[in-house]
Amino acid sequence: MSTTQTSGIGLRPDKLVIQLTVIAVVMFGFGYALVPLYEAFCRVTGFGGKTDVIAEVEAQQAIALNRDVAVTFTSHSHTSLPWEFRPLTKGLDVKVGEVQDAYFYVKNYSNRPITGLSTFNVTPPRAGFHFKKTECFCFTQQVLQPGEEREMLVRFMLDSALPEDVHELTLSYTFFDNEKYAGK
């Protein structure tokens, strides 16, 4: 197959070809490995405004500090989803360490049952990590029957490590049509 010559670094060509092919295959895998790596990176650093989850008991035990943060709630429903989705609680003044509830309203305007899933995000992103939820509708798929409406709860607290200069933050939700993934 190959014409070998005397000089070079002395590796047998077929061995080199195999090694290089292995690198290529590994790098293909690396592309996929970036998915969990990115997840982990965001979880550890709070990058991208990802929020954190804690257990109810743990939250109840936290000590409330005398530090007010204005939390605003916004929500959208993606254009492909014929739902109304808006915050009932527009905003709250929250003390750091105090457990609070916020409510959202959602209604299915179509004439078919639809599964939706909501994503969320905190701005400024560096605050996301300190936004701890104990309960949220965003963790699970929501099925709404035709015309069904629902109130949904988010229970959360801000932990005491929230950066000092954060005085206000926004929690934003977007509902997406999850039909394609329903039952998964």
Partner 1 sequence: MSETAVAHGHDHHDHDHKPSGFFRRWCMSTNHKDIGTLYLIFSLTMLFVGGAMALVIRAELWQPGLQFVDPHFFNQMTTMHALIMVFGAVMPGFVGFANWMVPLMVGAPDMALPRMNNWSFWILPFAFTILIISFFVPGGAPAAGWTLYAPLTIQGGMSVDMAIVAIHMMGISSIMGAINIIVTTLNMRAPGMTLMKMPMFVWTWLITAFLLIAVMPVFAGAVTMLLTDRHFGTAFFNPAGGGDPVLYQHIFWFFGHPEVYIMILPAFGIISQIIPTFSRKPLFGYSSMVFATAAIAFLSFIVWAHHMFTVGMPLQGELFFMYATMLISVPTGVKLFNWVTTMWRGSMTFETPMLYAIGVVFLFTMGGLSGLMLAITPADFQYHDTYFVVAHFHYVLFAGAVMAMMGGAFFWLPKWTGHMYNETLGKIHFWLTTIFFNITFFPQHFLGLAGMPRRYADYPLQFTEFNQWSSFGAFGLGLSQLLFVYIVVSTVRGGKKATTEVWDNPEGLEWTVPSPAPFHTFDQPPVVR
- Interface residues with partner 1 (CB under 8 A) are 1-9, 11, 13, 16-17, 20-21, 23-32, 34-35, 38, 45-49, 78, 80, 117, 119, 125-126, 174, 176-178, 180-181, 184
Closest contact distance (angstroms) between CB of 38 and partner 1 is 5
Q: Which is nearer to partner 1, 15 or 66 (CB)?
A: 15
Q: Which is nearer to partner 1, 12 or 167 (CB)?
A: 12
Beta-carbon contacts of residue 20 (< 8 Å; ≥ 6 apart): none
Beta-carbon contacts of residue 176 (< 8 Å; ≥ 6 apart): 78, 80, 81, 116, 117, 118, 119
Closest contact distance (angstroms) between CB of 22 and partner 1 is 10
Label the pairing between strands 68-77 and 91-95. Answer: antiparallel
Closest contact distance (angstroms) between CB of 2 and partner 1 is 5
Closest contact distance (angstroms) between CB of 115 and partner 1 is 10
Q: Which is nearer to partner 1, 47 or 89 (CB)?
A: 47
Are 165 and 105 spatial neighbours (Cβ–Cβ below 8 Å)? Answer: no
Which residue reads 């290529």 in tokens?
24
Closest CA to 121 of 87, 75, 56: 75
